Amino acid sequence: MLASLQKLGRALMLPIAVLPVAGMLLRLGQPDVWTWHPLNQILSEHGYFVTQIVPFIGASGEAIFTNLGLLFAIGVAVGFAKENHGAAGLAGLVCFLIATKGAGVLLQVPPSELAGLSDKAKGLAEAAWRAGAIARFGVPAGITSGVIAGWLYNRFYDIKLPDYLAFFGGRRFVPIVAGFAGLFLALALGLALPALSKGMDQLSAAVLHAGSLGLFLYGVLNRLLIVTGLHHILNNLAWFILGDFHGKTGDLNRFFAGDPSAGGFMSGFFPVMMFGLPAACLAMYHAAPKDRRKGVGGMLSSMALTSFLTGVTEPIEFTFMFLAPVLYGVHVVLTGLAMVIMDLLNVKLGFSFSAGLFDYLLNFKKATNPLLLIPVGLVYFAVYYGVFRVCISAFKLQTPGREPEGEAATLAAPVAAGGRADGFIAALGGPANLKVVDACTTRLRLEVVDNGLVNAGALKDLGARGLIKPSATTVQVVLGPIADQVAGEIRARLTELGDALAPAAKAAAPAAPAPIQGAPADPAQVSGLVQMLGGAGNLKTVEARASRVLVTVADPSVIDEAAGAGVGLRGVARTEAGTVHLVLGPNAASTAEALRRLLPQGG
């Protein structure tokens, strides 16, 4: 359950990444942006720019916000799919279009909406009412369509059909079956929409009327959930679903639509991200011994500037999240209080990406009481600096620059782009340990065979700011904004290694041709594996996992990994618990069954 939610949180970041350009275009397309001195005087002489070009830019941005459901359907599907394949995005689009159009037909238009209208006007009014009712649920419908399409892709991307239908097999089958899934979603959405609409209204009213308490809890939960990556789900609820202003739902959408009450779920982040956390970086710099400040100054200033300009804070937070949980708890509470303070001062700020200087300046004229951020921010700067400086000294926290002498080398600059993939692969347990490599805004999100093989120290040497292990087979590595680029480099390198490894394995074992799917285990390979593992008497348990065989042995010291290449192994990985992962390929299941028969007393 947790792994699925984390995967959803990661998938949501792909469509959300489009919002900065949409927000920028939307704001640059508003006349108030261009009516400040001296631009006002210059542009007043060029009426064409104000009357034609500016609305053109605004309409371009509005196109994104109007079709957010469509973007989420495609983006979430691609994020969920293996290899992030585009066929899943097409399936998500098909599912979403069928679901929303089909659900609209099932809706019953209230008679009051058509009273006094001509027949022609009634048709237009019905279409407009249905479109508006569906638009309220555009984002939830898009997310649901994306999840369904992503799951269907992972389930059917390699499906085999009879020869006369072979053209529709494999990935081409996914959009087809997604269309049928869209029919069921349309039926459910169309029949349940009145109840869903009422429930959304009640939820929105409850949250919005909760006032300071609701905002405080939102701020606290937002920072607490960042550990698992589930804060993205919470943010989507607040920013895209809660509240309604002329058909625009969510705090973010309502803010850009001109709702004067919107911005409560965004304003409180600005004092923390622009002032508080940069002050924490300054405190950590001053707390470091003078002879080490030069070594950590570049890293801390980079993280502080990133937070101030863009609102990306995870690299800072993970420097003290696990090192000083109490200090992180103070940060969590201060974030909740910032939400309350900004609301009490009637400060309404908005963003299209995050609470940084860029968004603050871009949306300044659309905000309410934006200048009050400065005094609040300065207070937060002082509070964060004081709390961090005192806690670091009082509790002797090993913040950057204060580690024992032997660990100082881990503060070296991150490996340059282009040569870091091999380092990350090795630190993550080798190619055989990596099952899925993906990324969100600031962290690698990985599925591994065994997270015990991950080397935290080596990752820190490579520039990692934090390491999270949500489960035995998942790992998250906090890198900052370069995470997606690093993930791409790792995937590309794994592909290269896989292409290079197959010919080598064949050359090393010419007598053992590559097994084909469904073929029985190769007796020669099974015999070689038994010898490599120290004999049949050393085997305790055998289990097949997709393309791998997991073997638990009595004495790991007698394993001869070098012999693995001679029996056609694609990779070997060990755990401290005495389990050996043998990467075999399609014949893993049959080989596991053959090894199982050799277990002492039948295993």
CA distance 21 to 17: 9
- What 3 state SS string does 406-422 have? HHHHHHCCCCCCCCCHH
Instruction: Give alpha helix (H) positions in 428-520.
Output: 456-461, 483-508
The highest-level CATH class for domain 523-602 is: alpha beta
Residue 56 CA to residue 63 CA, distance in Å, equals 11
| Per-residue pLDDT tens digits for 143-182 | 999 999 999 999 998 888 888 888 888 899 999 999 999 9
Q: What does residue 471 show for φ and ψ, rounded to 5 degrees? A: -150, 180
Q: CA 343 to CA 352: how far, in whole Å?
A: 19
Where do the domains of the chain lie? 2-206, 265-407, 412-504, 523-602
Tokens of 476: 């998250």
Length of the chain (residues): 603
CA-to-CA distance for 481 and 297, rounded, in angstroms? 19
Q: How many CB atoms neighbour CB 590 within 10 A?
A: 20
Determine if the peptide bond prior to 510 is cis (ω within 30°): no
The domain made up of 412-504 has a fold known as Gyrase A; domain 2 (3.30.1360)
Contacts of 249 (CB under 8 A, 6+ apart): 136, 139, 200, 240, 241, 242, 243
Residue 539 CA to residue 537 CA, distance in Å, equals 6
Q: Write down the pLDDT at residue 501.
A: 47
Q: Are 339 and 264 in contact (CB under 8 A)?
A: yes
Distance between CA atoms of residues 255 and 368, nearest Å = 10
pLDDT at 264: 92
How far CA 574 is from CA of 220, 286, 438, 452, in Å, comes to: 40, 43, 23, 9
Q: What angle do CA 444, 174, 188 make, to 5 degrees?
A: 95
What pLDDT score was predicted for residue 397? 84
User: Is-same-fold flag (412-504; 523-602)?
Assistant: yes
Low-confidence ranges of the chain (pLDDT < 70): 1-6, 32-53, 229, 405-419, 498-520, 546, 564-565, 575-577, 601-603
Phi, psi at 375, each rounded to 5°? -65, -40
Backbone angles phi, psi at 575, to 5 degrees: -120, 165
- In order of 226, 241, 397, 452, the CA distances from 319 in angstroms are 13, 33, 11, 21
Kindly state the DSSP code that residue 512 receives in the 8-state scheme. S
* Listed residue (94, 79, 82, 71) closest to 173, CA to CA: 94
Looking at residue 481, its pLDDT comes to: 76
pLDDT at 411: 42
Please tell me the predicted confidence (pLDDT) of residue 517. 43
Q: How many CB atoms lie within 10 A of CB 495?
A: 10
Can you give the pLDDT at residue 57? 82
For residue 281, indicate whether it is catalytic. no
Distance CA 376, CA 21 (A): 28
SS3 38: coil
Which one is catalytic: 95, 281, 391, 440? 440
